[in-house]
Structure 1
């Protein structure tokens, strides 16, 4: 059955992106518990938020319709926060895990009641919880279609993780993972792939059950790798590490929206989601996180071993008509060409680490890479002007 690809205006296929960052000490390379000072310097900027631990900080774009707008927002916000971080005596690092030094444990928790309640409920998880992700929101017509989209996303989340993997280091050593963030984050009880729920009521019941069992404090704390946003009319894809550069985030946003467009078109044509076994979906995540791109992967449809590059090629072919429909094909082709040439976050981190003489030097190189395209590498100065309010889910 031929899939129709259309973008009716009332579908609201907007995009929003959230990025989480590490604040690092420029002298040691380790984490800096400086988020309160950075936030104070930004004086209530609505697009910048605290996170669970005081060495983390988060930004969120506005609700946008195009990748150029997403790029502009992220470049401006990274520059904004990096300038404030510089004034607070620290560096802004785009890395899925803090790469250097030890973590502060429970004393590093942000002074907000919700975070202290989370630490009281999960005291063994919070000390290692300072991982940093990139979340992509795509507007959806209804929760019912959102649940159908979640089912269709199941086999394609692993290649998104593979190309976004950007956390090979922790405690000054190479962990052997392209995304060390993935196994750390997956220790949370609700950090798991979305299921094939029959309808929106079944999805809501699953969320309610997780809260009732004590696996999450509320719907915002249900950490499915892709979920219906508890706050916005969006599907939220949460599987990816924060990208080392803004272009990494733009690639992710474009692919996620193209997946949503494709799955919506299939739903309108009555095409059921292709079934995939839970065990194969989980195996595909583990392979993607360990090897990244272009390493070993698992085809979630067959269970066969495939190079990750072939799985990503399958993803691109699946969404290519949608990328044409959204006008994003040239941007995505260009960025995927860089990925195929070895420009992944994990590979670039390893190259920078090999060039660095110390953890502090490595952190400085990561900070510079984080600001690629902002025009602010190494620059100190007053924080830039504030930006508009943004989408944010926590």
Structure 2
């Protein structure tokens, strides 16, 4: 759905809940949500009871997205405090846990767990999912093709999960490596048509690699619930401002893709193995290191690839009124570093508990 030339936006964020004293994961997610007040968006349980999810309403501007994200985070953080908990925005749980996470009481979640085994009870992962309105499924599939080359850059901008199970993994986004173990996850194939997209989904369902269409976990896909293209490659952002940055950049890429398609320009067919290699490099180095340039086949500084994305989408960002916001947040990130860099600094200065404290403080609106 579009409002004239203004593509609509929605953002879903997944968070962890930790005990305020021990900093270990808490299993009170469902009870916390039952007591939560009404908000302008939606609050949901997740696969594991230590996770909660928020979803903004349909938004038209970056200002609307940012205000909604701040309100939702404030509501969840306030509920967490009242339950003796803290809300944490990290792609993975930093501390070593005494046992596997407990599942939310849901028939679907327990069916997934029985079918997927250890994949379902591995350390929980938290992502940021961005929806951009594109009502025509044929057009939406071609937009996903155009998004594929930019997935590593968006992942690099979002890296926020360097620590898991009590150790620094050596990756900026351990979540993305962990999540890619699901057979229906990772970068989407290149699709010639919507019919080809549907045939691939049918094969995943027939094989049992996905139990239902909601388990099509590609980094970019057609949403099953809304007339949108859904981007799923990003770690949950440390702050609402960074989540909004990811959202408006994604919308700009979608809008630029639609413009290119209307001009008769189809997306380049990037080989699947090349895209996986670029995503691996982005997960490892984040925005501060080297990225794999899919155009040249060579390593390049990731900040240069980010600048290429901004330059490519600048006309759309300007039309939506987002260019100034994007430049401002990117400058700020250049000063304070990515989420992963901030996590590592907190780990070095305060250990694992200090890291969790920093994450919970950072998640608060206005942090």
TM-score range, shorter chain: over 0.9
Cα offset, 1:153, TM superposition: 0.5
- Aligned pairs for 1:369-384 within 5 A: 369-373=362-366
Moved more, 216-225 or 27-36: 27-36
Cα offset, 1:157, TM superposition: 0.6
Answering whether residue 182 of structure 2 is matched by residue 188 of structure 1, we say yes
**Greater fraction of residues in strand:** 2
Runs of 4+ in 1 over 4 A off after TM superposition: 43-46
Cα deviation, 1:142-171, whole Å, max 9, x if unaligned, reads: 101101100001100100000100001112
Answering whether residue 96 of structure 2 is matched by residue 101 of structure 1, we say yes
Moved more, 291-300 or 49-58: 291-300
TM-score (norm 2): 0.96
1:301 corresponds in structure 2 to 295
CA contact (8 A) 2:92 2:123 kept: no
Cα distance between partner residues in 1 of 2:321 and 2:196: 35
Report the secondary structure of 1:59's partner residue. strand
2:63 corresponds in structure 1 to 68
Cα distance between partner residues in 1 of 2:212 and 2:159: 28
- Aligned pairs for 1:1-394 within 5 A: 9=3, 13-42=7-36, 47-102=42-97, 104-105=99-100, 108-356=102-350, 358-373=351-366
TM-score (norm 1): 0.89
Cα distance between partner residues in 1 of 2:203 and 2:269: 24
Cα distance between partner residues in 2 of 1:180 and 1:84: 28
Cα gap change, 1:44/1:221 in structure 2, threshold over 3 Å: closer, same or farther?
Answer: farther
CA contact (8 A) 1:99 1:171 kept: yes
Cα offset, 1:10, TM superposition: 5.1
Cα offset, 1:354, TM superposition: 2.1
Cα distance between partner residues in 1 of 2:97 and 2:265: 50
- Segments of 5+ residues of structure 2 without an aligned counterpart are none
Cα deviation, 1:251-278, whole Å, max 9, x if unaligned, reads: 1001000000100000000012123221
Matched pairs, number: 366
Cα distance between partner residues in 2 of 1:240 and 1:33: 24
Cα gap change, 1:145/1:229 in structure 2, threshold over 3 Å: closer, same or farther?
Answer: same
Cα gap change, 1:315/1:117 in structure 2, threshold over 3 Å: closer, same or farther?
Answer: same
CA contact (8 A) 1:276 1:301 kept: no
Cα distance between partner residues in 1 of 2:98 and 2:274: 33
Report the secondary structure of 1:128's partner residue. coil
RMSD: 1.7
1:387 corresponds in structure 2 to none
CA contact (8 A) 2:113 2:120 kept: yes
CA contact (8 A) 2:17 2:52 kept: yes
Cα distance between partner residues in 1 of 2:173 and 2:2: 37
- Segments of 5+ residues of structure 1 without an aligned counterpart are 1-6, 375-394
Cα offset, 1:339, TM superposition: 2.4
CA contact (8 A) 1:160 1:240 kept: yes
> Relative contact order (alpha carbons < 8 A, sep ≥ 6): 1 or 2 greater?
1
Cα distance between partner residues in 2 of 1:141 and 1:36: 33
Cα distance between partner residues in 2 of 1:104 and 1:88: 22
